[in-house]
């Protein structure tokens, strides 16, 4: 049997040859009759690992660069800091817990289920304390939601700054949660008519208190204890965290300790000195809870260059909206002169990540890559300049402007802005 080199010509077939050029070893071997496929290799000559090797497994050693990373200069210490999901290296929509970003205000605490307590008090008929085991006795729901830090892309307000999708857009993850609707526990304690807001705090030293209007609490907020099938990870709030679909991650209180029913909001440190949007005139907008429609091309990107020459390639990325489902994503390769509708991997789900693909025949020329998300409310992701017109340059949070990657002829990409 002979393995023939792919003939030039037909578009799809042509690329194997060009790929060969880009990956010399493989290409040369393939042209000559590639020993990696024609000869018996070491891994086919003996036994591999048995089923007792890893009772709980980790990624293979060759994927050791697909990890959470932080940005040293971003915050003073790593305790009250944040790290970033390696979205440039992921595909699909689910984020594995192991590399899903973390944000702590006083670090990830270590708490046993047996020691867990949740208090519901304030303007209620009957104040109650629940153990973990108590919570497991209430009817559960399961939903996939994205969790995005309000500061995601925050470093980009002043201009293109961080060179990688992991750093510009990696304060996000997307998991399948199992938990109890908060409305169920509120019914259990009986909210008094004057109770219009909740104040929620965590068990950690920071407590990270936030105010949540009753309408949202009664809508889709969950007390979650499972993510992607298993118990929450320590760094994501084990054993119980709040899930506040579509709203900024800071409100998704981890290690949730108490929920106080109140007549009004507390205006705590976490919702006044932080998590407000300072405008051009120096005043600040508060209660900007919802994460508006946003998207980013994850590959190619600075950490995920094009490894081959001209020919067929896949452009892929993520889109999401805190107001509902993504209905459409447009992609441009020329900085916005022409837009093409991307292919959604599956129909957009409300408040969850949507994966998009654009299958492109690359001519090898430079590209200015951008993606633009549309959600079910008709909202269209704005440019960064459109955002600045409204918000000025003093904001940190809620930057959902269109991202630009400048892809060079050699396949490398760079974070830039165009105007």
Give the span between the Cα atoms of 116 and 164, in whole angstroms.
38
Q: Is 355 in the site for a copy of itself (CB under 8 A)?
A: yes
Question: Which of these ranges, 171-179, 274-282, 330-338, 382-390, lies near a copy of itself under the rule CB under 8 A?
Answer: 171-179
* 316 belongs to the binding site for a copy of itself (CB under 8 A): yes
Between 87 and 291, name the residue whose CB sits nearer to a copy of itself. Answer: 87
For a copy of itself, the closer CB: 80 or 386: 80
Give, as ranges, the residues between 61 and 90 that touch a copy of itself (CB under 8 A).
62-63, 66-70, 77-79, 81-83, 89-90
Min dist CB 372 to a copy of itself, Å, is: 21
CB of 391 to a copy of itself, least distance (A): 28
> Cα separation of 129 and 142, whole Å?
24
For a copy of itself, the closer of residues 273 and 346 by Cβ is 346
Q: Which one among 14, 96, 154, 383 touches a copy of itself, defined by CB under 8 A? A: 96
Of 14, 214, 218, 231, the one binding a copy of itself (CB under 8 A) is 231
What span, in angstroms and rounded, lies between the C-alpha atoms of 249 and 101?
11
> Considering the rule CB under 8 A, would residue 109 count as an interface residue with a copy of itself?
yes
Q: Compute the distance between CA of residue 149 and CA of residue 172 in angstroms, rounded to an integer.
A: 6
Residues 186/105, Cβ–Cβ less than 8 Å: no
Binding-site string for a copy of itself from residue 360 to residue 399, where x marks contact by CB under 8 A and - marks none? ----------------------------------------
Start-to-end CA distance of the chain, whole Å, equals: 57
Query: Is 312 in contact with 15 (CB distance < 8 Å)?
Result: yes
C-alpha distances in Å from residue 65, one per residue of 59, 68, 88, 144, 303: 10, 9, 11, 26, 11
Taking the complex as a whole, how short is the minimal distance between the CB of residue 386 and a copy of itself, in angstroms?
Answer: 31
The correct pick among 151, 178, 212, 291 for binding a copy of itself (CB under 8 A) is 178
The residue among 289, 290, 270, 288 whose CA lies nearest residue 279 is 288
Q: Which is nearer to a copy of itself, 101 or 289 (CB)?
A: 101
Give the tokens for residue 28. Answer: 């040369």
Q: Is 93 in the site for a copy of itself (CB under 8 A)?
A: yes
Sites for a copy of itself among residues 143-162 (CB under 8 A): 143
Site string for a copy of itself, 5-24 (x = CB under 8 A): -xx----xx-xx--x--xx-
User: What minimum distance in Å lies between the beta carbon of 42 and a copy of itself?
Assistant: 9
Q: In residues, how long is the chain?
A: 419
Q: Which of 258, 385, 246 is nearest to 320 (CA)?
A: 246
* Phi-psi category of residue 60: left, alpha or beta, with phi > 0 → left and psi -120 to 50 → alpha: beta
Displacement of CA 26 from its chain's centroid (Å): 34
């Amino acid at each position: 049997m002979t393995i023939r080199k792919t003939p030039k010509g037909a578009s799809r077939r042509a690329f194997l040859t060009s790929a060969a050029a880009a990956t010399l070893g493989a290409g040369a071997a393939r042209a000559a009759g590639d020993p990696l496929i024609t000869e018996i290799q070491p891994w086919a000559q003996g036994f591999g690992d048995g089923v007792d090797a890893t009772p709980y497994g980790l990624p293979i050693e060759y994927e050791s660069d697909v990890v959470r990373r932080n940005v040293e200069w971003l915050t003073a210490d790593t305790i009250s800091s944040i790290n970033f999901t390696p979205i440039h290296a992921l595909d699909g929509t689910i984020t594995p817990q192991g590399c899903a970003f973390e944000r702590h205000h006083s670090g990830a605490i270590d708490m046993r289920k047996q020691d867990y307590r949740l208090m519901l008090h304030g303007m209620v008929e009957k104040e109650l304390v629940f153990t973990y085991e108590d919570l497991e006795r209430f009817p559960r729901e399961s939903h996939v939601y994205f969790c995005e830090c309000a500061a995601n892309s925050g470093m980009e307000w002043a201009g293109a700054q961080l060179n990688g999708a992991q750093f510009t857009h990696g304060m996000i993850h997307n998991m399948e949660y199992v938990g109890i609707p908060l409305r169920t526990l509120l019914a259990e304690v009986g909210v008094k008519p004057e109770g219009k807001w909740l104040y929620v705090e965590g068990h950690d030293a920071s407590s990270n208190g936030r105010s949540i209007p009753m309408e949202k609490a009664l809508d889709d907020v969950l007390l979650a204890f499972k993510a992607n099938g298993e118990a929450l990870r320590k760094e994501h709030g084990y054993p119980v965290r709040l899930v506040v679909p579509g709203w900024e991650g800071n409100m998704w209180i981890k290690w949730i300790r108490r929920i106080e029913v109140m007549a009004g909001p507390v205006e705590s440190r976490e919702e006044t000195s932080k998590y407000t949007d300072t405008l051009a005139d120096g005043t600040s907008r508060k209660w900007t809870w919802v994460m508006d429609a946003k998207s980013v091309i994850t590959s190619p990107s600075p950490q995920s260059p094009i490894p081959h020459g001209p020919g067929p390639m896949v452009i892929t990325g993520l889109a999401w909206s805190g107001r509902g489902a993504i209905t459409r994503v447009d992609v441009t390769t020329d900085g916005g002169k022409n837009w093409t509708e991307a292919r959604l991997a599956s129909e957009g789900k409300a408040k969850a990540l949507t994966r998009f693909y654009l299958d492109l025949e690359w001519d090898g020329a430079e590209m200015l890559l951008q993606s633009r998300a549309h959600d079910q409310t008709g909202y269209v992701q704005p440019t960064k300049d459109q955002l600045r017109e409204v918000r000025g340059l003093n904001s940190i949070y809620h930057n959902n402007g269109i991202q630009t990657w400048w892809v060079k002829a050699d396949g490398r990409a760079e974070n830039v802005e165009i105007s």
